[in-house]
Structure 1
Amino acid sequence: MAGILAWFWNERFWLPHNVTWADLKNTDEATFPQVEDLYLACPLAFCIFMIRLVFERFIARPCALGLKIQANGPQKAQPNAILEKVFTAITKHPDEKRLEGLSKQLDWDVRTIQRWFRQRRNQEKPSTLARFCESMWRFTFYLYIFTYGVRFLKKTPWLWNTRECWYDYPYQPLTVDIHYYYILELSFYLSLLFSQFTDIRRKGFLVMFLHHLATISLITFAYVNNMARVGTLVMCLHDSADVLVEVAKMANYAKFQRLCNLLFVMFAMVFISSRLGVYPVWILNTTLFESWEIVGPYPSWWVFNLLLILLQFLHSFWSYLIVKIACRAISRGKVGDKWNPLHVSKDDRSDIESSSDEDNGPPPTPVQKHHNSTTNGTNKVHGTNGYQSAGAPCPDEH
């Protein structure tokens, strides 16, 4: 184990030439980032998760109820042992052939069976109230941490001159503000990493899980080798758009449609301008070129910049999806008071989701014999795989 740790913390990988870990030990004159500092993030992540539970129960929930958001979830499907077995053991989205077989077996109309599967899928989704509470928690944290980051950074020289991120590197002392900023951000994303298994299950679960892992890795990486200054710029820049997307979701759940439209437009503008404009011009410019000029490259420098470049590719992809959402809404003529960008998206980006596609109609009931109900073909469902015109969610929806 000692050999593995020695290999992993190789100074020639992590630090510039002629710099050792001993040079970055804390002294009476200066404090530097230490790996041990990050251990605090684990218990703090648990504390943040517990604070979230209290916040959602005693603050977010009363706010949601005050906005007339219903606590009840989607309507439950009528109990049926045969359909339940197909749903749990075979498929949640039966094809046309299986639907026809079930129709003959149960003497149910095909559309009734489709509706049962739709209601059964929706039954596993949380209520709008739960979605609102989750978004309100995220909005509150993002607003706090973004406000803290702006207030802290406006007093620092590297906000106004990014070359300050590299002067005297890596012998830049760690301040209390930087330490607090990093530990809090790391703890929050650790809490998200684990709470993702209990939160609302999104289509992009794996993508967001990997995103949280990448975020945690970048925060840890920047702290350990004391690229802390440029790391604060990256964190603050990314938090700016996250505030808007969460409050837009809250407006969507509360059915404040005009406000939702406005917030979505603001989110799109901030996201695209910050991720495709400010990030490459401001962040990548200093990590790639200014650091090369002042410090020079070394192994972990290449890895750090590679991660930041990969992040830029993700920014481009997500920006494309946001533009796609807006173009789709415009092409469908849904821009106006009733346009809901968070619904039109069909969850193109996993963090932008619509409200639950609940079916508010009555539960399915058996009908006449299949051959009698299909004499004129009136129960044939047109559209892709027979789902859409029956009112079922599109395949790429939650």
Structure 2
Amino acid sequence: MVLIENCPPGPLLFVINVINIICVAINLPNWRNFLPWGLGDAEKNGLLSHPLPGSLSESMPKMPSYVDFLAEHSYERSISSYYQFAFKTPSTSLGVLTTPDAMVVLLVLVLILREIKRFVLPKFSAVGRHLANISHGSEWVKSNELKVTKFGEYLYRLLFHSSVSISGIYYFCDKPWWDPARGGVANMFIDFPNQPIEVDMTWYYLIQGAYNIDAMMHLFELSFVATWRKPIAESGRIQTPLNIKWSPTCRGDFQEMAIHHIITNILVICSSHMRLTIIGSMVFMVHDVSDVPVDLSKLANFMKWKTSTTVCFVLMVIVWLVTRLGILPFYILRGIVQNAHIVYTEGVIDERFARMYTGMFVGLLVAIITLHLVWFLMLIKIGYYKVIKGEFHDLTEYKKGEKTTAPIKKDQ
């Protein structure tokens, strides 16, 4: 048990650590000696006098790499040995996304996902075009090609979110951290950081990480258009060689989505590095399950099926409330705040690390929950448009409301 007397709060420790990393990098390791008013004086318990002991990685159990696996079992490099390492062996370096082995697999998975999308999105959009021809007519299709393209994206996201939701429920529904009778969220930290990373968890994290990286890349690809130009304009004015402009395909909620994707990817990478995959898997499940009715409502709205759109919208609001504004803040986040002390009172992690990273995680999760609240208010506004105007306007895709010439139809 490593307890620190007068340990400062997590955010301050994080600032101290950042300053220390920068000063060490510029060859100024004794930077505290130059601080005024005793801020760096450890004997006087100065505000900035608390150094972190080494690195967090030193407190973590080593996860064997593929090379370690070969040496331990006297195997040769082969497809068979890699299969045993990747799909049959728990607690390997693939379970920590910041290791070289995992980063290679993550890169391969991102490339595979992009190739899958390159192949299936045109086919899914063709399905949307066919359905729109039937329900809206060919003239609407010609003037709404962007919406037809988005139909393919909605269908792809629906299939992904449905698949990972089913997989997550299948793999993790019987785990003790989801069962209050068996300790519930306290299991996120018991025996930390020596909790085994099962093969299912390893690949669940790898696939989720690859999807989120690709989703962030796709968001920026949709939102910006970059073109090269001459450094000197015809007028003689100096200009940047790379000209970046907003794209007409930019989402209406780009700002919220960009913040969400950046925070999500930070949480994915850091939670894996810090062996907090249990927490990460819980957050993944909450988001994936709630994304399914979101995708369904977008598809139904594309078809302008009045009854289906209304049902999907109501389901989306209910699931959003239960998962993103209920389970996430009041079960998962509260569990982190109430039980994080276990990692230093019963584990081997220094209290300063625990406070610093707990504060960082809590802050990022609060930011995500705040975004969920912003989106929920947007859903309320969409519902208001439905009541007042009798039709749905997708404010997430179109900031000023969806412009459509197609009539809203009852389900046939």
Q: Aligned residue for 2:192?
A: 169
**Aligned pair 1:205/2:254, yes or no?**
yes
**Post-superposition offset of 1:162:** 1.5
2:63 to 17, 25, 28: 25
- Contact 2:121 2:152 (C-alpha < 8 Å) held by counterparts: yes
* C-alpha distance in 1 between matches for 2:300 and 2:310: 9
Question: Within the alignment, does 1:134 sit opposite 2:183 as a pair?
Answer: no
1:340 to 386, 391, 403: 391
Give CA deviations for 1:54-73 in whole Å, capped at 9, x if unaligned: 22233452365146266968
CA contact (8 A) 2:60 2:193 kept: no
Per the alignment, in what secondary structure is the counterpart of residue 24 of structure 1? coil
Counterpart in 2 of 1:119?
A: none
Counterpart in the other structure of 1:313: 370
Give per-residue Cα distances to partners, 1:130-179, cap 9 Å, x unaligned.
Answer: 12111111111111111111111113222212211111101112111111
1:180 is aligned to 2:191: no
Q: What percent identity do the matched residue pairs reach? A: 20
AA of the residue aligned to 1:147? I
Per-residue CA deviation, residues 236-272 of structure 1 (Å, 9 max, x unaligned), is 0011111111111111111211101110010011102
Residue of structure 1 equivalent to 2:280: 231
For 1:106, the equivalent position in structure 2 comes to: none
The amino acid that maps onto 1:143 is S
RMSD over equivalenced CA pairs, Å: 3.3
**What amino acid sits opposite 2:376 in the alignment?**
S
Q: How far apart, CA to CA, are the structure 2 residues paired with 1:159 and 1:190?
A: 27
Tell me the distance in 1 between the aligned counterparts of 2:59 and 2:336: 22
Q: Is the 8 A contact 1:165 1:230 kept in 2?
A: yes
Q: Distance in 2 between matches of 1:22 and 1:270?
A: 37
- Mapping 1:262-273, distance limit 5 Å: 262-273=311-322
Decide whether aligned partners of structure 1 residues 324 and 48 sit closer, same or farther in structure 2, where only a CA change above 3 A counts: same
The amino acid that maps onto 1:41 is L
**Aligned residue number for residue 52 of structure 1:** 117
8 A Cα contact 1:75 1:358, kept in partner: no
Shift of the 71–149 alpha-carbon distance from structure 1 to 2, 3 Å rule, reads farther
State how 1:347-386 maps to structure 2 within 5 Å. Answer: 347=395, 349-350=396-397, 356-357=403-404
- CA–CA separation in structure 1 for the residues paired with 2:60 and 2:301: 53
Match of 2:214 among 178, 191, 213: 191
State the distance in 2 between where 1:126 and 1:228 align.
41
Q: Do structure 1's residue 153 and structure 2's residue 176 form an aligned pair?
A: no
1:248 aligns to what? 297
Q: What 5-or-longer segments of structure 1 have no aligned partner? A: 77-122, 361-398
5 Å-filtered alignment, 1:91-102, equals none
Report the Cα distance in structure 1 between the residues aligned to 2:205 and 2:164, rounded to whole angstroms: 10
The 8 Å contact of residues 186 and 219 in structure 1, kept in 2 or not, is answered as yes
Of residues 105, 115, 118, the one that matches 1:40 is 105
Cα gap change, 1:358/1:23 in structure 2, threshold over 3 Å: closer, same or farther?
Answer: same
When the two structures are superposed, what TM-score results if normalisation uses the length of structure 2? Answer: 0.63
Maintained 8 Å contact 1:248/1:264 = yes
Structure 2 residue 356 is matched with structure 1 residue 299 = yes
Letter in 2 for 1:201: C
Letter in 1 for 2:339: E
CA distance in 2, matches of 1:14, 1:304: 18
Q: 5+ residue gaps in structure 2?
A: 1-20, 26-50, 73-89, 223-248, 345-350, 408-412
| Residue identity matched to 1:51 | I
Cα contact 1:31–1:173 (8 A) shared by 2:
no
Between 1 and 2, higher relative CO (CA 8 Å, sep ≥ 6) is seen in 1
Asked whether the 8 Å contact 1:230–1:283 carries over to 2, the reply is: yes
Contact 1:64 1:133 in 2 (8 A): no
Q: Comparing 298-307 with 263-272, which one deviates more in the overlay? A: 298-307
Q: Is contact 1:245-1:352 (8 Å) kept? A: no
1-side partners of 2:341 and 2:139: how far apart?
A: 55
- Check 1:158–1:14 CA distance in 2 against 1; reply closer, same or farther (3 A cut): farther
Say which is worse superposed, 49-58 or 210-219, in terms of deviation.
49-58
Asked if the contact 1:60–1:133 (Cα under 8 Å) also holds between the matched residues in 2, the reply is yes
| Partner Cα distance (2:400, 2:170) in 1 | 31
Which of 274, 283, 290 lines up with 2:339 in the alignment?
A: 290
- Cα 1:24–1:69 shift into 2, 3 Å: farther
**What does residue 327 of structure 2 align with?**
278
Amino acid at match of 2:205: Y
Specify whether residues 41 and 12 from structure 1 end up closer, same or farther in structure 2 by C-alpha distance, changes over 3 A only.
Answer: farther
> Hey, what's the Cα distance between the residues in 2 that align with 1:268 and 1:352?
19
- AA matched with 1:306: G
Q: CA 1:151/1:140 → structure 2, altered by over 3 Å: closer, same or farther?
A: same
Report how far residue 12 of structure 1 moved.
4.6
Candidates 257, 261, 271, aligned match of 1:222: 271
Aligned to 1:373: none
Task: Give a deviation string over 1:91-121, Cα, whole Å, max 9, x none.
Answer: xxxxxxxxxxxxxxxxxxxxxxxxxxxxxxx
User: How many angstroms apart in 2 are the aligned matches of 1:132 and 1:303?
Assistant: 37
